Every structure is written in structure tokens, then in C-alpha cells.
Chain A
Amino acid sequence: KQEVTQIPAALSVPEGENLVLNCSFTDSAIYNLQWFRQDPGKGLTSLLLIQSSQREQTSGRLNASLDKSSGRSTLYIAASQPGDSATYLCAVCGSGNTGKLIFGQGTTLQVKP
């Protein structure tokens, strides 16, 4: 059974720092991996999607990497800003034809001005 773990559960950094969020999964047979952002009491916003054949994806100050063989993904946030404060969720899509996502518990990020 696929399990997704995110470390750390919470992170507090001063503005301007570069930071890394970690995601690990137990079954390497995935179709893709996605990173989402969730603000308090809101729905999820898709940040980056990495297909199983890809190694990384970039969008602005965000860079996500994928190492299927080791079951790991990282989300790198450059030059963090207070507006980046949110919960970041990692989710993997299994190789079956269902589109179902298995989510980690998330990392709650606070960026202090």
C-alpha cells in the first residue's frame, strides 16, 4: 500500500531564506507526483506536476525534483516571502488507470517578515 510522508510537519523561517520541503513515498510505481498549496480554510492550488519520466519541474521561485528509485521528491522555494506562508501538500498518482492521489500530511510553512 502506497504511503506518503512529508518532513518536516512545520517550518518557520525568516523572509528571504531558501528552503526545501521533503516528500517520500513507499512504492516507486507512480504515474506522477504533484505539489499543492493550501491556505487556511481553503481548497488546494496545484503548484507543480512531475510526470514519472521527468526529473524536475520549475515555476517561478519553485522547483520540484523527483527521484523515483529512492521514492523521494523535494520542493525548493527560493527567496521565501511572507505570502508563501501556507500548507504544502505532496501527492502521488499510482500507476493504475484511476487518477487517484495519495496525499502526505503536509508541511505548514510560516515565513516571518
Chain B
Amino acid sequence: DGGITQSPKYLFRKEGQNVTLSCEQNLNHDAMYWYRQDPGQGLRLIYYSQIVNDFQKGDIAEGYSVSREKKESFPLTVTSAQKNPTAFYLCASSILDATGPPNYGYTFGSGTRLTVV
């Protein structure tokens, strides 16, 4: 079955440590996205990528970094510069129409819950 796989499901980070969240999709989708969700709030965009080897900052990119070396993979690194990283992180993908934004809906992964210890 096609879908998006996020790992790990739970992640614990010590102060000053960098951690990487994995996101893999086998849907052959062009675009991939990372969102952050805090309790009682909607999702906020961290980074997105429309093609391999290219990505753009979202609304809250500070303290995060990404790479897109393969179409299927879009890992997110939470660096020590991110002062409040405890949150639920969601990865998503979508098809990109050549003429504009996606005509098709998003597919989301099941999320990674990151906690600072």
C-alpha cells in the first residue's frame, strides 16, 4: 500500500542535542512538507520541498533544517537552536500540477511526538 512513513513515533531530545525525524513516501508525490502541531493549535509549516535538491522555508523554520536528496525522502533535523521543540511533527506529501498548486489532496504521515528531557 502506498503511503507516508514517519519514524520514530516517539523521540526524546536532551538539551543541546540535534535529532532527525524521518519521512519516507512511496506515492511518487512531487511535493513534501513538514508541519508542527502544538496542543490546541492548528498546524504550522516548517519547511517544504517541491523537487529534489530544493526546499523552501515555511512560517517557523528557525531552528530546523531539511534535505531532499531523493524524491521519496524528506528528513527534518531539529537543531539545538530550536528553543521549544516539544511538539507533534507531521510530514505530508502531494502531487504538484505543472500549472499550479496541487489539484489533489494531501497525504499525511502518522506523526512523531518529540519531547525535550
Contact = CB atoms under 8 A, between A and B. Distances in A.
B111 interface: yes
8 contacts: A31-B100, A34-B105, A41-B113, A43-B108, A44-B92, A98-B50, A98-B101, A100-B58
Interface string B43-67: 1110010100000101000000000
A91 B92 CA distance: 13
Interface string B1-33: 000001000000000000000000000000101
Given A41-B113, A96-B101, A106 B42 contact: yes
Given A34-B105, A46-B105, A96-B101, A101 B96 contact: no
Instruction: Report the contact-size class of chain B (Cβ under 8 Å from the partner).
Output: 20 to 34
Interface in B87-109: 88, 90, 92, 94, 96, 100-109
A36 B105 CA distance: 10
Contacts, number: 74
Contact of A43 (B40, B42, B90): B90
Contacts of B58: 100
Interface string A93-111: 1111111110111100000
B100 A101 contact: no
Interface of B: 6, 31, 33, 35, 40-45, 48, 50, 56, 58, 88, 90, 92, 94, 96, 100-111, 113
A95 B44 CA distance: 18
A103 B46 CA distance: 13
Interface residues of A, number: 28
A89 B48 contact: no
B106 A100 contact: no
Question: Sorted from nearest, which 6 A-B pairs have the closest CB atoms?
Answer: A103-B42, A46-B105, A44-B108, A43-B108, A43-B110, A49-B105
Given A49-B104, A49-B105, A105 B110 contact: no
